[in-house]
Each structure stands twice: as C-alpha cells, then as structure tokens.
Amino acid sequence: MLRWAEIYLNRLKNNYNSLKKFTGRKKIIAVVKANAYGHGSVPVSLFLERETDVDMFAVATIDEGKELREGGVKSPILVMSNPLIEGVDEVKELNLTPVVFDFESLEIAVKNGIGFHLKVDTGMGRLGFLPYQWESVLEKLDFSLLKGVMSHFADSDTDVEFTRYQYNMFIPLIKKVLSVKKVAVHIDNSGAVPLSLDGLLTHSRIGLALYGSKPYPDFPVPVEQVMEVKSKVIDVKTLPPDWGVSYGRTYITRKSEKIAVVAFGYADGFIRSLSNNWQVKINGCFAPVIGRICMDMTVVSVERIDTKVGDEVVITDRALTFDKMAEKAGTISYEIMCDISPRVKRIFFEREDGKILSRF
C-alpha cells in the first residue's frame, strides 16, 4: 500500500467529549456529510453511536443517509439539502428526517406524513424561510410532524457579534414553536460551540471540530486532528545542478540535490497550490515539496535526510495539520479533508499505542 489515511477514533471520542463540555447541556448532532469530511461516515457514526451519547447524525443527501442505514446506524439521520425533491419514498423507507425550508418542501412533507426539521434563514442567505415568512409558516404548520427548528450561522468563526445577532433573531420563533410543542432546536456549528449559547437550544450540530480541525486559530476547545495521511518514497536520486523538477520546471536545482519521489499527488487530495509550498515528514525530518505536485506523485528535497525507497512519508498528522495546510493553500481545512480521495485507503484505529485495528 503506497497511500493511506489512519483514522484515530480515540481522538474523535476525545474531541466529542471536549466539545460536549463547551456546549453546556446540549445534545450533539454529529455532522457526517461528505463521508464524514473524508473520514469514513459509517465507521465514524457506528463508533460514535457505540462510544458516546451522540443523539443524531446529519448528512447532505439521501445516498449518504442510505449508506449509514445500510451500515447499521440506528439513530435519527437529518438530511440537510433537499431530500424531498430527491426521493420521498426513499426518505420514508430509510426513516430519514428531512430539513424543510420552503413552502414546496413543506407541502411534500405534509402530504406524505413525513416528520421534519424546519429551517429558517437568520442571515446565512442560503436555505431557510426568511423572517417575513415565519408568521405564515407557523399558521400553516402541521405541528404533529414537526420534530425540530433550526437555523445556520454564517460567520461563527470570525464574527461573534453577527453570530449573536442571528441567535437573537431566532429566539422569538423558537419561543412561539416551543409554546405549542417541545421539539429539537439547533443553530450551532463548530465555530459557535465556545459561545455556549444556552437557554432554548437543545442540540449543537458539529462537524469540523469533531475531526480535530479548529474553526479559528485560538479556538478554545482542545481538539486533535483525527486523520493522518501517509504515503511512501518510491524513488530516491541525486539530480545534477541546474536541473528542473516536475511540470513547468518551477524549481531548478542550484547545485546537485538529493530528491525523493513520493507516491501522493493531487488525485489523492494533495492540493496543487501546495506546490513548492509544503513540507512532508520523512523519518522525522521535514522535506520540502519542490516543483509542482503531479496527479500521482510529488517530488521532495531530501538533501540532509537519510531515506530510501519504501520509507513512510507523513503528508499530514496532528502536528503537521490540515489547518496549516489550509492556511498555506489559501483555502479551508474542510475542503482539504473532503478532497482526500477514495483511492487513499482508510484504516481505523481505536488506540494511540499498540495500534489496535478497529473492527470496522
């Protein structure tokens, strides 16, 4: 195996417990869309179901919900995009809980007797009923099918003031709904967890931070990166002086230089903008990426590193994090995690030492 990702479920559990402390008394909705941000949605969900008091899972699509059900997940599964135009029958068969966010999806849910969470827009400007519609929604609402009300923060990682403004806008609606029926109420995402918004909220919807990435640099909840991505050296050689490296010859050796070819490229999820802009670890030493990242391979400089073909290469781990990678690549860690491709085999561990392979 030349490329793989080690998933440390013990860290996932620690992250869960740390986050739970900050949310106050709220229950957790673990967001496992996009294959649990690349970590493997079935193993991650089954592990959380077994080892924590997770209350619910959230995915984006019916297929993601189906995968969880077929994998044996029993908890409620919230489907957050538009499952009701995707397939009402499957939503019913799989016992998925759709998010309803406009009059069309509300009508489909009611006509088919499907329990749902109602989503309102408090400033995200994406899915959700806008404030001017709330009155008429409440008038039309079939409370027997209503299981939750939710909204979504637009800027919880950078703007506390706007986040509180959104929450305050949400409160009157929550109060009206709760005066009729006790349902789940949620708006938090990872970035909002440290605000410990309390009172009427019953759940926090958490994705990113569960996987150990910080929504912002001084995020106060201690979390540790769950995934470590590894590869192997497939060639070592010394290039002559003034020799170009990789496509476009963006790196030229000055003197003779020892290089290693690593079996990891953008088809594996190595963001190409990290070309000449990242360091991997080989035998505990940093080896800078030189030249452009290719589809299946990347060249690194190993001038003073003792290395040979077959040596393990760390692309990212809990010290050399996705957060650092994202900063260098000018993107967000979410995108990098989601980009770790299916050809990178996921291996699951439940302990740090001894490396006990999980039963998944």
Ligand X SMILES: *Cc1c(COP(=O)(O)O)cnc(C)c1O
Residue closer to ligand X by CB (options 56, 259) is: 56
Helices (DSSP H) in the chain: which residue ranges? 9-22, 33-37, 41-51, 62-71, 83-86, 88-93, 103-111, 134-140, 160-180, 322-329, 333-339
β strands within 132-263, DSSP E? 146-150, 184-186, 203-206, 227-239, 244-245, 251-252, 257-262
Catalytic-labelled residue, pool 247, 308, 345, 355 = 247
Q: Determine the Cα–Cα distance for residues 258 and 275; give it in Å rounded to an integer.
A: 18
**208 binds ligand X per the rule CB under 6 A:** yes
Q: Which of 45-53, 188-196, 231-239, 340-348 is the region at the interface with ligand X (rule: CB under 6 A)?
A: 188-196
Give the count of residues interacting with ligand X (CB under 6 A). Answer: 11
Q: Which is nearer to ligand X, 207 or 291 (CB)?
A: 207
Q: C-beta of 196: minimal distance to ligand X in Å?
A: 15
Classify the C-alpha dihedral 243-324-270-3 as positive or negative.
positive
Interface with ligand X (CB under 6 A), residue from 38, 128, 148, 207: 207
Judged by CB under 6 A, the chain residues 73 through 112 that form the site for ligand X are: 80
* Cβ at position 89, least distance to ligand X in Å: 24
Quote the CA–CA distance of 134 and 138 in Å, as a whole number: 6
31 touching ligand X, by CB under 6 A: yes
The β-bridge relationship of strands 227-239 and 257-262 is antiparallel
Residue 210 to residue 37: CA distance in whole angstroms: 10
* Closer residue to ligand X in complex, CB, 152/230: 152
Query: CB pairs under 8 A, 24+ apart, for 352-357?
Result: 352/8, 352/10, 352/11
Q: Which two tokens mark 159?
A: 């703007």
CA distance 316 to 324: 9
One of 206, 239, 259, 315 touching ligand X (CB under 6 A): 206
Closer of 187 and 261 to ligand X (Cβ):
187
For position 314 contacting ligand X by CB under 6 A, the verdict is: no
- Least distance to ligand X from the beta carbon of 107, Å? 22
Instruction: Output the CA–CA distances (angstroms, integers) from residue 326 to 194, 195, 257, 332, in the order listed.
Output: 22, 24, 28, 5
The catalytically annotated residue of 13, 20, 26, 33 is: 33
Q: Which residue's Cβ lies closest to ligand X?
A: 207
Catalytic: 247? yes
Query: In the set 13, 39, 117, 152, which binds ligand X (CB under 6 A)?
Result: 152
Nearer to ligand X, 191 or 291 (CB): 191
Output the smallest distance, CB 96 to ligand X, in A. Answer: 15
DSSP 345: E
Q: What one-character DSSP code corresponds to residue 200? A: S
Segment lying near ligand X (by CB under 6 A), choices 46-54, 187-195, 229-237, 251-259: 187-195
Catalytic residues: 33, 247
Q: Which residues are near ligand X by CB under 6 A? A: 31, 33, 80, 152, 189-191, 205-208
